[in-house]
Structure 1
Amino acid sequence: MDLKRQCKLIAELFDMSIFFVSSTGEVQFELLGNRILNPLYKNDKQFFFSVLGFDPSVCKEDPSVVRTMFFENYILIRIGNDLNDEGTIILGPSLPFSLIEHKINGLINDTHLFANREQVFHYYQSVPVITHERLINITILVNQMFNHELIEAEDVVQDYLRGMYIKEKEIQGSINSSKGYDETLHHNPLNEKKLLTIVKEGKLDMLKHFTQLGHENTGVLSKSSHIRSKKNLGIIGIALAARAAIDGGLYSEIAFSVSDVYIQRLEDLRTDKEIDQCCLEAFFSLTEKVSQVKESQHSKIVTLCKNYIYNHRYSKITHEEIAEHAGISPNYLSVLFKKEVGVPVNEYIQQIKIEEAKHMIQFTNTPLSEIGSLLSFTDQSYFTKIFKKHLGRTPKQYQQTHHMIEE
């Protein structure tokens, strides 16, 4: 049976469009059925590939499921091997849930792409809704059909928003349907409860698994903008996570400081990818801090000193100031802190400042030359030296691989 006929059977069986792209980037055939292409792509092949993060010349070993910024899911399966790369099958799109009018309007407004609104609505109404679990099963089956290899679900690369695994439903919080939004679907309250329990208990391993669970529709908190809606939902989620962290034993000042930092960063972000990464960082940061509290049985004095250091991380902190705040002598502070925390006071101050520097590099456009000054390092050379001491690379090298803000 030839390739095109096999693809036609798959398209009809799963009610999905299918494309076959050669390793040179040529679309050798497309089977759309009675559907139109997404009007937001403007029939631009390269734009379509870039949205998928797809490079036809790069051979990917494992099949993948990709979520685009337009809510679509696509299955990508390479046919052949390194020696005989025939090309890639792109199966889709499908949707993880039905899009309501407000979400489609927000999507059009946020992308600033000129398209006929009626055509866009018609397009989304024609795209099949396929659950996450079924999509993975389809991927396994189609891969077996073409590559004669039966893989496991965990072998499928789930490249949602190109690597950002935290989904809207995991950062929602309590969102109740309000007047005029009766048609809006909301997240599963049980998942919210599970997530906040994980944060409260400081279970980092459970959080890693939880952020890869199912993908469902969520409420809309802004009619005119999808990005604004995601920011609002993220703010609610981070605030509730901070409360859960406090319930788990984290000092309230630290919990609120962490949530404030991430919420402020959210306001400067412009894409799904940036927002998802910021929320993910916030949840892991709070959960990790709860875990540290539960694992360390520090005395009240040491806990007081740690909180003081964190709250004054942008200032030049002296050993004497901390001792005075705790009401003990500097010598006793040195002995007690090293005994309970495992590192000297000055070393711990450096750790807190470098952690803050990492976050500033990742989530802000603050020049590297200013970050050291903001954190009260004596000069840029000393800041670079301490940063490299703790992370094994310079601030510039770290920025090249971890900076999340799109210019």
Structure 2
Amino acid sequence: MGTIKIFNTSRNECFSVIILPDNNQKILILWCNIQTISTLGYFRDSFPSISLERLTSYTKVLYFSLFQKIPLIEQPHFISDLAFITEENDDTNNRESDTYHNNYYKERLMLKALEKGILAEFRPRLADFINSGTFGKMASGNELRNSKNILIAATTLFTRAAIKGGIYPESAYALSDRCVQKIERLRKIDSIIDLTQEIGELFVNRVRSAQNFSNSNLIFLIKDYIFKHLNEPVNLSIMSEKLGYSKNYLCSSFKYATNQTIVNYANEQKIREVQSHLVFSNKTITEISGLLGFSDQSYLTKLFKKYLNTTPTEFRKRYHI
């Protein structure tokens, strides 16, 4: 019979190994995919992340399909990233094994929000990224230098994302240079987080004003409003009052710039949120319907089927055993 070992490499990753019983020592590896639906947004090309417990269950099922026997699995083995460090004098050997850098996929979400120039989306994405781990050490023994290096690295990431979002490269680099120069002049840094947010929002606002179509500010105001009010029914009259434009002007401007109606765009964003709730929560469809401002469950189901050609119940079954 084959043998099984379960490994936990961090708070976000785990994998199992099945060693097959032959002379060549062949193995099968099951690795959790942490590129979740909320990470990339490509619902057909991505799988949800799974827990260590579910990975163990999947491994048992695979083992049983191979050997027709339920395996005995020991407690998971923890693998620290430090296990791969070979330099004896590396200062990182002194780091505690339960310290983790910020999550890469949350970083991608945060930078994607910056690319789109949507401040209301960037702020929570940045907070999620910051809360996902620690910044790490770039300069040992010098906290000020370490803080400056982290801020400069963040500025570099923001610059690249801003260029993708439509800022002319030379303008983005010039803004980056000014930020770095200001960072270098600092003699004290009380909060890396506050400065990171300040620099990030500076780039977000530049992206927002640099969109290719002439009424980009208005379009992104509309998208900002929709993102902030996903838990409410779409009400164009209230939106026009809040933004200070007539309803007809809002609708015609948005349609011209995006080739879709405001209501259609808002419904698309709501359906994306519904998909995340179906996969990552145990809320009922009725609860999700109320949470996102749908009039009733039947309307949510009708809209869901219109956009995805399936029902919420059928969609959830794909990801839950």
Q: Smaller-chain TM-score range? A: 0.3 to 0.5
Q: TM-score with structure 1 length normalisation?
A: 0.39
Q: TM-score with structure 2 length normalisation?
A: 0.47
